[in-house]
Amino acid sequence: MSFREKSAWITLVTVLLCFGVYFGALVTGRVSGEGFPSMHLLLACVAVLIVLQIVLNRIASATTPKDGRAPADEREVLIQNRARSFGYYVLMGCSLTLFLPVHFGHSAIQIANFALLGVVLTTLAVAGAEIIMFRRGV
Amino acid sequence: MAPGLPIANQIRRLRFDHGEMTQSDLAERIGMTRQTVAAIEAGKYSPSLEAAFRIAHVFGVGLDEVFQWVD
């Protein structure tokens, strides 16, 4: 497995884990969606995400030293570009659906959480598309 | 040749003819990953013209000896 495929897996798993905890806590009501508790949990999840990404990418780079230090080759760039292009449509879809919580009178913090969910889904879609294309060849 | 790509290649045979050169060796010499060489060899990915010339240069043959258009 190439470094960039490992990196895509790391992104998929860490984002799913960290924001799964955050949104899971909000949905189940363990943390109030309004005010500081949710803000503190979000900051903690982002901090854990950053640390996990750095540590795991360093491990991935150490286990694939040749391509870990080299720039992406043309096939990897093509895969990244196609995945980001797919992510653009996911983000547009999520952005348009933001009108729904506005229409139903949700609070500003809830709408911000819906926007954050859109960003998270886009990140997962990009990482997932990259993994699929890496597995298929292109 | 993979379905959808009308380009065949002789990279496997050329690697064999050059002392069983590994995909990793070829990848290192053309500045790509082993996975990309494997994808090219399997006909799943068509390389750029520059990469195709690099591959042909490594084997010391013409481009048409490495890649063929299949109707």
pLDDT digits (tens, 9 = 90+) for B21-40: 999 999 999 999 999 999 99
Q: Rounded to two decimals, what is the model's pTM?
A: 0.87
Which residues touch B18 (CB under 8 Å, ≥6 apart)? B59
Q: How far is CA B18 from the centre of its chain?
A: 13
User: Locate tokens 């000896």: which residue?
Assistant: B65
Q: Do B42 and A134 touch (CB under 8 A)?
A: no
Q: Measured between beta carbons, which residues in chain A are less than 8 angstroms from residue B35?
A: 1-2, 5, 75, 134
Helix (H, G, I), strand (E, B) or coil at B67: strand
- Give tens-digit pLDDT for A99-122: 888 888 888 888 999 999 999 999
Nearest chain B CA: its distance from A75 CA (Å): 6
d(CA A75, CA B35): 9
> Looking at residue A33, what is its pLDDT?
76
Residue B3: burial class (beta carbons within 10 Å; 0-12, 13-18, 19+):
exposed
The ipTM, to two decimals, is: 0.86
Which regions of chain B are under pLDDT 70? 1-4
d(CA A64, CA A67): 6
Which regions of chain A are under pLDDT 50? none
Taking a C-beta distance cutoff of 8 angstroms, is the pair A10, A56 a contact? yes
Q: Do A137 and B2 touch (CB under 8 A)?
A: yes
Task: List the single residue in A2, A136, A138 with the smallest CB-CB distance to B33.
Answer: A2
